[in-house]
Amino acid sequence: MRRRTIAVASGKGGTGKTLVATGLAAELAGRGFTVTLADCDVEAPNDHLFFPIELHGAPVEVPLAEADAAACTRCGVCRDVCAYGAVRLLGDVAVVFPELCHGCGACVTACPAGAMGERRRRVGEVVRGSTAVGPGRVHLVAGTLDIGEVKAPDVIRAARRSAEEAGSDVIVIDAPPGTSCSAVAATRGADLLVLVTEPTAFGAHDLALAAELGRALDIPLAVVENRAGSGPVSVAAWCSAEKVPLVASIPFDRAVAGAYAEGRLPGGEVRALADALAVLADHVTGEAVLV
């Protein structure tokens, strides 16, 4: 089959997104597929805890404008052309604030004195490794944002590029929670957006936001309900009203939480979870999604 990219996301953290992403990757590998699991939750990546893989990393670097104090005439052109407000004139030189600079190069091109240059700045790393799972294989790619850095989307895009290079039948993306730029970077261009939610008021509110994101990006949606039966909200009713398929429900079960907390691969011993992941894998590989 042609490669498919499945993004697993949630409007809020703690709904079980990683449980579903790692479980789906393992389920697909168990069916003989080669799967790339791309952990794009770069502020707290933890998919590697479920797979015994030796990982090797490479830094993620972004361009950063920087003025040469000796050559700068303090004309202010760079400050005026920067669309992100990243340049200020301080003392005798133009100063670039790294957190605001998008590395667009406009100030470098515009500087009449040739004083504005560019250097590379590390913002995180992407690690990767591979292991056999049943008859298939899981390539794990994980992005990690350096502590104190804010450029999560750059690390996510680097992780996704690395995932594309891995060569697999399916890419499963563990997206960051929420609907910010990071979530957009992790999900844009996916073939299917699996939204993991829970039957609580918070879960329902943030599910609606996440669905809005998926629709804005023109990605088909599917919902997985986690901790089914633990709250007052009917996820099924929401899905019916919004015409989004509720693909699987994972019961509120201490055994699921126990296996997850101990870093054991989801599925397997917990029958109801394994069944839910199998149904989700059917949906991911089924004709309705493949066309």
Between 74 and 215, CB nearer to ligand SF4: 74
Q: Does 38 bind ligand SF4 (CB under 6 A)?
A: no
Q: Does 20 bind ligand SF4 (CB under 6 A)?
A: no
Q: What's the min distance (Å) between Cβ of 187 and ligand SF4?
A: 25
Between 25 and 82, CB nearer to ligand SF4: 82
Q: Does 62 bind ligand SF4 (CB under 6 A)?
A: no
Q: Does 290 bind ligand SF4 (CB under 6 A)?
A: no
Q: What's the min distance (Å) between Cβ of 68 and ligand SF4?
A: 8
Q: Does 14 bind ligand SF4 (CB under 6 A)?
A: no
Q: What's the min distance (Å) between Cβ of 67 and ligand SF4?
A: 4
Within 64-123, which residues bind ligand SF4 (CB under 6 A)?
A: 65, 67, 72-78, 81-82, 84, 86-87, 94, 96, 101-107, 111, 113, 115-116
Q: 3-state secondary structure string, the chain?
A: CCCEEEEEECCCCCCCHHHHHHHHHHHHHHCCCEEEEEECCCCCCCHHHHCCCCCEEEEEEEEEEEECCCCCCCCCHHHHHCCCCCEEEECCEEEECCCCCCCCCHHHHHCCCCCEEEEEEEEEEEEEEEEEECCEEEEEEEEEECCCCCCHHHHHHHHHHHHHHCCCCEEEEECCCCCCHHHHHHHCCCCEEEEEECCCHHHHHHHHHHHHHHHHCCCCEEEEEEEECCCCCCHHHHHHHHCCCEEEEEECCHHHHHHHHCCCCCCCCCHHHHHHHHHHHHHHHCHHHHC
Between 56 and 119, CB nearer to ligand SF4: 119
Q: What's the min distance (Å) between Cβ of 99 and ligand SF4?
A: 11
List residues binding ligand SF4 (CB under 6 A): 65, 67, 72-78, 81-82, 84, 86-87, 94, 96, 101-107, 111, 113, 115-116
